[in-house]
Amino acid sequence: DGYIKAVGPADVIRNQFSGATFERKIDCTGKCVLPGLVDAHTHPVWAGDRVHEFAMKLAGASYMEIHQAGGGIHFTVEHTRKATEEELFNTFKHRLERMRRAGSTLVECKSGYGLNLETELKMLRVIERAKQSMDIGISSTYCGAHSVPKGKTATEAADDIINNHLPKLKELKLSGEMHVNNIDVFCEKGVFDLDSTRRILQAGKDIGLQINFHGDELHPMKSAELGAELGAQAISHLEEVSDEGIAAIARAKCAAVLLPTTAYMLRLKQPQARKMLNEGVIVALGSDFNPNAYCFSMPMVMHLACVNMKMSMNEALAAATINAAYALGKSDTHGSIEIGKQGDLVIINSSRWEHLIYQFGGHQTLIDYVIVKGEVVYKNERCGI
C-alpha cells in the first residue's frame, strides 16, 4: 500500500519477511537510503521567465527597483495570464520531474502569478491536476496576495481576496473539485502591510487553510510575531526577522522556512539560522524555485544552508526532510524512515549520506533511485559504480 512496513537491521528484516515474495528487490550494498527530500517553498506554475533580469541584478539593481520598473512579479503575471492551462501544465510537469530527479518527493506549490481570480484558479487547477496524475507529493498553496495588482491598493486587493477569491475556493473544496492546503501572503513594505496580511490570513484560516506565508524578507515587518499570534504553520524568508519574532515562533512551534537560494541570488542578508536553531525554532528549507531564483535542487539548497547559513549537515538534512514536512503539516506521514510512514525514499550511490550535501551540484550522478509511495519513480541510468 506504499507505506513502510519495517525498519531495522538486514538480518532481522530477512527473518521477519522470510515467507514473503516481492516484485522487486534493490541491492543497496555500499549505498545510503535516505527519506525523500521535502521542498517546503516553491512557485513552479508560471509562464514568462526573467532571465533578462538576472543581468540587471548582477549590475546592482535591487529586487524592488526591478519590481517598480514593471519587471519582477508583474512581468511573470502578464505572461501567466496569457498562457493556456495546457501550456502551464506542461511546463509545470517538466519542472516537477526535474525536482523529483534531484530527490524531492514532496513539494509545496504556490499560485500567485495571476493576481485575479480567473488566473489564480487556472494555476490552482494545474496544481490539482498534477496532484492527481503525478507520482510526487504536492501541498498546494493559494498565494493570490503575492503582489498588489496594478490599479489597486493593498486594501482593495485584500477586500477582493476576502470577498471573492476565498469564498470561491471554499465552494470548490465543498464540491470536491479542488483541495487547497495553505494560504500565503507576501507581507512586505510596498506590498501587503501587516493589517491587510492579518485580514487575509485570518479569512483563509476561517475556511480551513493552513497559514504559511512570506514575511520579514526585505524589511522588518513583525511578520513572525503576526504568524505566532495567528497560529501559522510556517513563515518563509525571515531575513529581517526581529529577536522578538524569533522567540515568538519558537514558542508557537511555527516552522521557519529558510530559503538560502534567494538570499544568495539577491545578495541579501542571510537568514539567522544559527540563532533560530539555538532558540529552538523548527527550521525547514525550501528552494524558492521561481523565475527569480531558478533552482530545482534541494541538495544544492542544503549545501548553501551549510556554507552560507552555518547549519551543520545533520541540521540541513533534518530541515529538508522531517522539518520541511512539518512546515506543510505532513510530518506524521512524510519526512523520515519510520514504520507506518509513506515509503518516500532516495537511494544515493555512496556509502556516506553526506555526499548528497558535500557534492555541490553533484546529484545528477549521485542519486541512484527516487521512490514515492513504494514505487520507483526515477532510476538514474547515469549512476556508475
- pLDDT tens, residue order, the chain (385 aa): 999 999 999 999 999 999 999 999 999 999 999 999 999 999 999 999 999 899 888 999 988 888 888 888 889 999 999 999 999 999 999 999 999 999 999 999 999 999 999 999 999 999 999 999 999 999 999 999 999 999 999 999 999 999 999 999 999 999 999 999 999 999 999 999 999 999 999 999 999 999 999 999 999 999 999 999 999 999 999 999 999 999 999 999 999 999 999 999 988 899 999 999 999 999 999 999 999 999 999 999 999 999 999 999 999 999 999 999 999 999 999 999 999 999 999 999 999 999 999 999 999 999 999 999 999 999 998 876 5
Burial class (CB in 10 A: 0-12, 13-18, 19+), 45: buried
Residues 148 and 17 in one domain: no
C-alpha cell at 307: 556554507
Residue 249 lies in a domain: yes
- Radius of gyration of the chain from its Cα atoms, rounded to whole angstroms: 21
Domain match, 353 and 317 both: no
Q: Are residues 17 and 132 in the same domain?
A: no
Let me know whether 263 and 355 are in one domain.
no
In a domain, 201, yes or no: yes
Q: Is residue 61 part of a domain?
A: no
Residue 106 lies in a domain: yes
Amino acid at 87: E
Q: Is 160 a domain residue?
A: yes
Three-state SS string over the chain comes to: CCECCCCCCHHHHHHHCCCCCCCCCCCCCCCEEEECEEECCECCCCCCCCHHHHHHHHCCCCHHHHHHCCCCHHHHHHHHHHCCHHHHHHHHHHHHHHHHHCCEEEEEEECCCCCCHHHHHHHHHHHHHHHHHCCCEEEEEEEEECCCCCCCCHHHHHHHHHHHHHHHHHHHHHCCCCCCCEEEEEECCCCECHHHHHHHHHHHHHCCCEEEEEECCCCCCCHHHHHHHHCCCEEEECCCCCHHHHHHHHHHCCEEEECHHHHHHCCCCCCCHHHHHHCCCCEEECCCEECCECCCCHHHHHHHHHHHHCCCHHHHHHHCCHHHHHHCCCCCCCCCCCCCCECCEEEECCCCCCHHHHCCCCHHHHEEEEEECCEEEEECCCCCC
How far is residue 133's CA from residue 93's CA, in Å, rounded to a whole number?
10
As a whole number of angstroms, the distance between CA 94 and CA 380 comes to 17
Q: Is residue 318 part of a domain?
A: yes
What pLDDT is stored for residue 385 in this prediction?
Answer: 56
| Alpha carbon distances (Å) from 121 to 42, 54, 378, 384 | 17, 29, 30, 44
Pair 350, 324 in one domain: no
Co-location of 153 and 236 in the same domain: yes
Q: Do residues 212 and 185 lie in contact, with contact meaning Cβ atoms separated by under 8 Å?
A: no
Q: Domain boundary at 328, 353, 371, which?
A: 328
Backbone angles phi, psi at 307, to 5 degrees: -75, -50
Q: What is the identity of the amino acid at 363?
A: H
Give me the pLDDT at residue 72, please.
87
CA-to-CA separations, 235 to 91, 96, 300, in angstroms, rounded: 27, 23, 21
Would you say 106 and 330 are in contact if contact means Cβ atoms under 8 Å apart?
Answer: yes
Residue 60 lies in a domain: no
**What is the separation of C-alpha 140 from the centre of its chain, rounded to a whole number of angstroms?**
10
Claim to verify: residue 357 and residue 308 sit in the same structural domain:
no
Beta bridge partners of 378: 370
Residue 19 counted as domain residue: yes
Judge if 371 and 297 occupy the same domain.
no
CATH code, 106: 3.20.20.140
**Could you tell me whether strands 210-215 and 137-145 are parallel, antiparallel, or unpaired per DSSP bridges?**
unpaired
| Residue 198: burial class (beta carbons within 10 Å; 0-12, 13-18, 19+) | middle
Same domain, 114 and 233: yes
Is residue 215 domain-shared with residue 296, that is, in the same domain?
yes
Q: Is residue 160 located within the same domain as residue 255?
A: yes
Confidence (pTM)? 0.97
How many domains, in total, are found in the chain? 2
Q: Which domain holds residue 309?
A: 35-47+83-328
My answer on whether 370 and 297 are in the same domain is no
* 257: β partners: 236, 284
| Spatial contact of 4 and 343, defined as CB atoms under 8 Å apart | yes
List the one residue out of 291, 330, 383, 315 whose CA is nearest residue 105. 330
